[in-house]
């Protein structure tokens, strides 16, 4: 049986910081409506650079709150074109349904991961390999667009991978604990899990709605 580490007292702080990050990202998405289209590419590049910095920061197990909030704000802005596309092509209800589904799935996985006595750290290697495969396919898709069926399959795999990351990150916090310095980094992990899960589900809903 696994014993709770005293450092698990910071899990509520992670959840509050994660929720605040979602709020900041949502604000960024709303502001994205007023951003000139030519700025989205530079912002997307900046987001990638910040994400790479965050990946290096994982080695030090710490990240500043200011970095987290700047990243999620920019991420919210760059998410606007995606949301806007689906609103204009299949309607706002599809986006709302995708967001609601993401929230339910995320919450259910988080509850399971924190209640189970199993250590799910073995998922880490498989998830990372699957993530690299997803990134490779997305690059391939940029030059040679996938068919609708191919994109649907890609999106379903994305749901599986990022659902796995939700399980992995919550379970890791439960079994290995969190320090105060790790709170922003763990909140960033959860934010990326949620965002990518949402985009994958939104893509599935969009494709299915477009077929009707």
| DSSP 8-class letter at 10 | G
- What's the pTM value of the predicted model, to 2 decimals? 0.90
Tokens of 51: 């994400």
| DSSP 8-class letter at 61 | T
The predicted-structure confidence for 3-48, as pLDDT tens digits, reads as follows: 444 467 888 999 999 999 999 999 999 999 999 888 888 888 888 8
The predicted-structure confidence for 64-104, as pLDDT tens digits, reads as follows: 899 999 999 999 999 999 999 999 998 899 999 999 999 99
Compute the distance between CA of residue 209 and CA of residue 212 in angstroms, rounded to an integer.
5
pLDDT > 90: what percent of the chain? 58
Q: Taking Cα atoms as reference points, which of 175, 192, 181 lies closest to residue 121? A: 175
Arithmetic mean of pLDDT, 130-151: 88
User: Taking the mean position of all CA atoms in its chain, how far away is CA 77?
Assistant: 15
DSSP H or E segment with residue 181: none
Say what the pLDDT of residue 61 is: 60
Say what the pLDDT of residue 111 is: 95
| CA distances for 107 relative to 28, 63, 103, 113, angstroms | 23, 24, 6, 10
Mean residue pLDDT of the chain comes to: 88
- Whether residue 117 is predicted with pLDDT greater than 80 in this model: the reply is yes
């Amino acid at each position: 049986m696994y014993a709770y580490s005293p450092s698990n007292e910071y899990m509520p702080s992670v959840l509050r910081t994660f929720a605040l990050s979602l709020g900041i990202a949502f604000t960024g998405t709303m502001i994205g409506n007023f951003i000139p289209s030519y700025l989205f590419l530079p912002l997307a590049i900046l987001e990638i650079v910040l994400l790479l910095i965050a990946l290096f920061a994982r080695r030090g197990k710490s990240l500043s709150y200011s970095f987290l909030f700047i990243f999620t704000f920019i991420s919210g802005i760059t998410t606007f074109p995606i949301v806007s596309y689906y609103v204009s092509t299949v309607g706002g209800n599809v986006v709302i349904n995708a967001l609601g589904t993401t929230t339910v799935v995320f919450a259910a996985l988080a509850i399971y991961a924190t209640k189970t006595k199993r250590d799910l750290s073995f998922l880490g290697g498989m998830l990372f390999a699957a993530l690299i495969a997803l990134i490779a396919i997305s690059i391939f898709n940029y030059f040679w667009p996938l068919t609708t069926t191919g994109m649907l399959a890609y999106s379903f795999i994305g749901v599986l991978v990022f659902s796995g990351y939700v399980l992995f990150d919550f379970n890791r916090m439960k079994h290995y604990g969190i320090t105060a310095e790790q709170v922003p980094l763990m909140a960033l992990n959860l934010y990326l899990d949620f965002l990518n899960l949402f985009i994958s589900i939104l893509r599935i809903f969009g494709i299915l709605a477009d077929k009707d």
